[in-house]
Every structure is written in C-alpha cells, then in structure tokens.
Amino acid sequence: MRFKGKVALVTGGSRGIGRAISLRFASEGANIVLNFFRNRSAAEATMAEIKSRGVEVLEARGNIGNPQGVDKIFAKIKEQFGKLDILVSNAALGSFTPALDIDDQAWDLAMEVNAKAYLHCVQRAKEMMPSGGKIVAITSLGSQRYIKGYGSIAVSKAAIETLTRYLAVELAPQRINVNTVCGGFIDTEALRSLPAFENLKQQVITRTPGERLGRPEDIADVVTFLCSEDSRWITGQTIIVDGGFSLT
C-alpha cells in the first residue's frame, strides 16, 4: 500500500494504459481522480473497479485540451481532497497524417490535447501538490523514431519530453519529481483499431527481443515506480518501455 492516502489524477484514465495505471494506483491505496471525455460506459466500469479496491474515486469528465475544462477538474480536486499528490498525464489525441500533409487542424489538435494540456495540468497541480509530489507524462517511440503517418502526434510527444526536463528543474525546489514514460507498441484498443494491426503486430513481435507486444500493465508498473519514494533521485528523465524494440 505504497500510496495509501495519496490522491492521483490520471488523465484519460478509463481505458487502455490509463485504466491500467488507475487500477494499479487504487490497488496500492491511492484515491483516484479519473478523467475521461467521451466514453462514459468505459469510465463507469473503471470507476466501479476502483471502488472495489476500497478507495475513493472522483469523476472528472472533461476535455483537457480546453484550459477551462482543466480549471474545472482541478477545482473539483481541491474541493474534495484539498491536495493532489500524483499527476499522470496520459490522455492523448491526434490524427494519422504524413508530416508533409499536416495542416493547422491536425497540428493544433495534437499540440493542444497532448503537449499544451500537459503544461496546463502541471501549472495547476503545483498549486496544490505537497512537497514530494510526483508527475509522470506518457509518450511513445514516435517522439524519437519515425513511424509512418505519426507526424503531428510525434511532434507533440517530443514536446512533452522536452517540457519534462524544464519542469523537473523548475519544480525541484518543491521536491516534485517530473518524468516521462515512453512506451513502445502497447496492445490497446487504439492499436488494435489500426487497419494494418495484424501485420504490424507480427513485425513488432519479430523485432522485439521480448517477443511480444507491450501490455498496459508494463507501463503502469513503471509509472507507479516513478511515483513511489524508491524513485526520489530520478527526475527529468524519459524512460523507454518497449521490451527492447528500439535496440534493434
């Protein structure tokens, strides 16, 4: 119960990687602020699982790409808990577009929901985060390697990783650690929705020393480590979690 009595906000926390992170924190005693936007049925199912672990869960529906939506979420956190110990910036959105075809709409969507939302959440979190707080952002290998059609999303993920280093230095006086977890190919609904999923899956498995796709729990394990006291001397880092895919 490493996180008993702690309050953790997980953006995009109802499905996939966000769901795994939310449930892992709840299993270790944290009260969860669950952010979601569209899929209420998935959110309700995840909240029920969180409650079954004997902790509190606060519904925080809202579009984090909208600054006013972020303000409302943090106002709810302050009203119910009065503090926020852990922030996991996981929610992401974007369109698959070759870099040369990116238009303003695709660019703005990815930057606002991914990079700008991360900044806004951190700016608000620091106002109610006690000394020893933890912040983790989720990115993907597209931030560092070419993935076909991933251009606009990749740029936003790279911005997050750079921003993490700046935030880590500026929040160090408050003893707040800031890190990024960069996931490889993770077996989620989002990945399975790609038209070429089966072909992609076989290519990734063949190339990965671990010989499988990543699982949401693989990311959750690293996130919870970075939010524990065991990681107190780690800050400003991007941890790649890909089973060795990027080594080959």
The set of catalytic residues is 150, 157
Rounded CA separation 230/143 (Å): 27
Tokens encoding 190? 């989002």
Element (H, E) at 3: none
Using CB atoms within 10 A of its CB, is residue 215 exposed (0-12), middle (13-18) or buried (19+)?
middle
Rounded CA separation 176/84 (Å): 12
Cα angle: 193, vertex 164, 7; to 5 degrees: 80
CA 28 to chain centre: 18
CA 196 to chain centre: 25
- Tokens 């597209």 belong to which residue? 142
Tokens encoding 9? 């906000």
Among residues 27, 29, 67, which one has the least CA distance to residue 49? 27
